[in-house]
């Protein structure tokens, strides 16, 4: 069984289907790629050639699907509409929409019980769109539900800042779609603080800087937890994903041109709301000038509450599988230096249960779709009993052009991107091309 009909969840279903095994994908929303659609206005760093799972392409080819040009950069909406939705249709009744997974366990065994545990199938508790409940049995579970629904708070200590809840109507955790009149009006001619140092933050900064050139009175404040800007702009021309490098260069130019004010070493402790604005204060009592809006792009974290009865082996810091964590530690790695990994690194003390996709990275950032496709290929092989294929993991990822070493920001500071991780990048227009889970039944 797969949880989540996003890019990795649907790829998992395709890989399992290719091995002639039964599979069911449970998706709580009414359409495939629901999270991707929420950042549909954002153009990806990755070209189409890196955004289609091989097993999924074979499945789609049988339907007459035409693969988009390999060298084009799709938006999130284009990725969902031209690939994810047709893939879900090709999978047919293997995908169930309006089916929210609220719990996973072993039949007749809570997490404490050892006796006969491994002989029992998984029990997946599902809440349907109509409010009903049912239990579905599965011999293996792949949770590829992502982290999109669990953004990190604004607070610098991982907890909501004082007053953050009261200021919620002025805080967004998403890249604003300034092509939408209502959203544009929210930021035009106003002062906005952007918190975060990842690619989502850079995308937002560039978009708001462009808006500032068009609309007088639009001001942008970039709030960084790190002590200096450092490598936040990325590797530029050295980045093997050209669109990603171009985004950093544009953000750097906007800062140098004075369109963006930068504040470093600021870990938000309080968001104090007045009738007209919000004042941010840090742990040392330093206050920033009042702002009208806040875009908090401080990363994401996995929602593990439905898995409370599953025996997970998670790293204490990253909340990623213990064997995977040292391979993706953001203090050491960029997405281009992550080592190939598969079923062995994604397994848990609960045999037959796997985290895949962005959720497998826990709080680590910069996840690439290519990584997820190779993860689920390996997992599908392991489930099918093809341990040789599961162990043969090969993956070459594009380097960022930034030397990753000890002393770089932690995962909470090097913000995770929207569902596609560092696949996501700038809004349209772009320069030069600006620039998920299943259960076996």
pLDDT, position 409: 28
For residue 143, list its beta bridge partners.
Answer: 3, 355
Confidence of residue 199 (pLDDT cuts 50, 70, 90): confident
Query: How large is the average pLDDT for residues 275-283?
Result: 94
**422 part of a folded domain:** no
* pLDDT over 50 (residue 69): yes
Q: How many CB atoms lie within 10 A of CB 93?
A: 6
CB 23 within 8 A of CB 440: yes
Q: In whole angstroms, what is the distance from residue 265 CA to residue 428 CA?
A: 31
CB 72 within 8 A of CB 83: no
* pLDDT over 70 (residue 400): no
pLDDT, position 398: 58
Choose the final residue of a domain: 370, 391, 412.
391
**54 part of a folded domain:** yes
Name the residue range of residue 323's domain.
2-149+301-391
CB 340 within 8 A of CB 394: yes
Q: Which residue, 425, 402, 410, 309, is CA-closest to 362?
A: 410
Q: In whole angstroms, what is the distance from residue 98 CA to residue 76 CA?
A: 22
Among the residue ranges 123-127, 256-260, 422-426, the one predicted with the least confidence is: 422-426
Check residues 291 and 422 and name the one with the higher pLDDT: 291
pLDDT, position 9: 98
Is the same domain home to 307 and 282?
A: no
For residue 137, list its beta bridge partners.
Answer: 123
For residue 439, list its beta bridge partners.
Answer: 24, 141
CB 368 within 8 A of CB 49: no
Q: Which residue, 421, 424, 400, is CA-closest to 357?
A: 421
Q: In whole angstroms, what is the distance from residue 61 CA to residue 9 CA?
A: 19
Is the same domain home to 117 and 31?
A: yes
The two three-digit tokens of residue 254, written as one number:
């906007």
Is the same domain home to 66 and 19?
A: yes
The two three-digit tokens of residue 323, written as one number:
């064997």
Q: Which residue, 111, 37, 113, 114, is CA-closest to 78?
A: 37
**419 part of a folded domain:** no
**109 part of a folded domain:** yes
Is the same domain home to 205 and 249?
A: yes
Choose the final residue of a domain: 296, 317, 334.
296
Among the residue ranges 147-151, 291-295, 371-375, 434-438, the one predicted with the least confidence is: 434-438
CB 227 within 8 A of CB 265: yes
CB 430 within 8 A of CB 243: yes
CATH number (domain holding residue 95): 3.50.50.60
Confidence of residue 218 (pLDDT cuts 50, 70, 90): very high
* pLDDT over 80 (residue 441): no
| Helix or strand holding residue 371 (H, E) | helix 369-383
pLDDT, position 412: 34
Q: What are the CA-CA distances from residue 213 to residues 19, 254, 257 (Å)? A: 54, 10, 11
pLDDT, position 245: 77
Is the same domain home to 142 and 244?
A: no
pLDDT, position 428: 41
pLDDT digits (tens, 9 = 90+) for 315-372: 999 999 999 999 988 877 555 566 779 999 999 999 999 999 999 999 998 788 999 9
CA 43 to chain centre: 14
Among the residue ranges 30-44, 79-93, 256-270, 417-431, the one predicted with the least confidence is: 417-431
pLDDT, position 334: 55
The count of domains in the chain is 2
Average model confidence (pLDDT) across the chain: 88
Is the same domain home to 359 and 242?
A: no
Is the same domain home to 236 and 258?
A: yes
Query: How large is the average pLDDT for residues 95-105?
Result: 98
* pLDDT over 70 (residue 263): yes
Q: In whole angstroms, what is the distance from residue 324 CA to residue 335 CA?
A: 13
Choose the final residue of a domain: 296, 320, 337.
296
Q: Residue written as tokens 């320069």?
A: 431
Tell me the CA end-to-end span of the chain in Å, nearest whole number. Answer: 6
* pLDDT over 50 (residue 422): no
Question: How does DSSP classify residue 339?
Answer: P
Query: How large is the average pLDDT for residues 114-127?
Result: 97
Confidence of residue 243 (pLDDT cuts 50, 70, 90): confident
Confidence of residue 197 (pLDDT cuts 50, 70, 90): confident
**199 part of a folded domain:** yes
CB 21 within 8 A of CB 384: yes
Confidence of residue 399 (pLDDT cuts 50, 70, 90): low
Confidence of residue 401 (pLDDT cuts 50, 70, 90): very low
Query: In a 10 Å sphere around its CB, with 0-12 CB exposed, 13-18 middle and 19+ buried, how is residue 54 labelled?
Result: middle
Is the same domain home to 308 and 205?
A: no
**402 part of a folded domain:** no
Angle, helices 369-383/54-61, rounded to nearest 10 degrees? 80
Q: In whole angstroms, what is the distance from residue 8 CA to residue 329 CA?
A: 21
Confidence of residue 232 (pLDDT cuts 50, 70, 90): confident
Query: How large is the average pLDDT for residues 22-29?
Result: 98
**163 part of a folded domain:** no
């Amino acid at each position: 069984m797969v949880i989540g009909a996003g890019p990795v969840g649907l790829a998992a279903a395709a890989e399992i289907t290719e091995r002639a095994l039964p599979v069911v994908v449970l998706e709580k929303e009414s359409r495939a790629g629901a999270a991707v659609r929420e950042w549909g206005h954002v153009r990806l760093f990755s070209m189409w050639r890196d955004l289609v799972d091989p097993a999924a392409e074979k499945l789609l080819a049988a339907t007459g699907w035409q693969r988009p040009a390999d060298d084009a950069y799709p938006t999130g909406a284009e990725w969902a509409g031209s690939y994810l939705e047709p893939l879900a249709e090709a999978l047919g009744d293997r995908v169930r929409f309006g089916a929210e997974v609220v719990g996973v366990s072993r039949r007749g065994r809570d997490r404490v019980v050892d006796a006969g545990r491994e002989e029992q199938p998984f029990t997946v508790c599902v809440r349907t769109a109509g409010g009903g409940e049912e239990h579905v049995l599965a011999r293996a579970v792949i949770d590829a539900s992502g982290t999109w629904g669990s953004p990190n708070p604004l607070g610098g200590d991982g907890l909501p800042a004082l007053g953050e809840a009261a200021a919620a109507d002025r805080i967004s955790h998403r890249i604003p779609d300034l092509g939408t009149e209502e959203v544009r009006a929210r930021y035009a001619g106003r002062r906005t603080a952007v918190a975060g140092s990842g690619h989502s933050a850079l995308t937002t900064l560039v978009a708001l800087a462009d808006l500032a050139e068009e609309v007088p009175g639009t001001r942008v404040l970039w709030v960084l937890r790190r002590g200096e800007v450092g490598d936040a702009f990325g590797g530029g021309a050295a980045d093997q994903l050209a669109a990603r490098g171009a985004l950093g260069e544009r953000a750097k130019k906007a800062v140098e041109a004075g369109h963006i004010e930068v504040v470093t070493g600021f870990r938000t402790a309080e968001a104090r709301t007045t009738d007209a604005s919000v004042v941010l204060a840090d742990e040392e009592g330093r206050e920033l000038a009042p702002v009208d809006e806040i875009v908090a792009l401080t990363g994401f974290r996995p929602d593990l509450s439905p898995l409370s009865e599953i025996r997970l082996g998670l790293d204490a810091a990253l909340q990623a599988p213990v064997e995977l964590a040292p391979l993706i530690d953001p203090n050491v790695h960029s997405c281009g230096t992550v080592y190939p990994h598969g079923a062995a690194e994604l397994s848990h003390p609960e045999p037959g249960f796997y985290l895949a996709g962005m959720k497998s990275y826990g709080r680590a950032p910069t996840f690439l779709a290519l990584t997820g496709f190779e993860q689920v290929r390996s997992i599908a092989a392991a489930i099918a009993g093809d341990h040789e294929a599961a162990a043969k993991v090969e993956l070459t990822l594009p380097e960022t052009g930034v030397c990753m070493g000890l002393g770089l920001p932690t995962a909470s500071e090097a913000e995770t991107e929207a569902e596609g991780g560092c696949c996501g990048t700038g809004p349209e227009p772009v320069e030069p091309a600006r620039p998920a889970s299943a259960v076996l039944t």
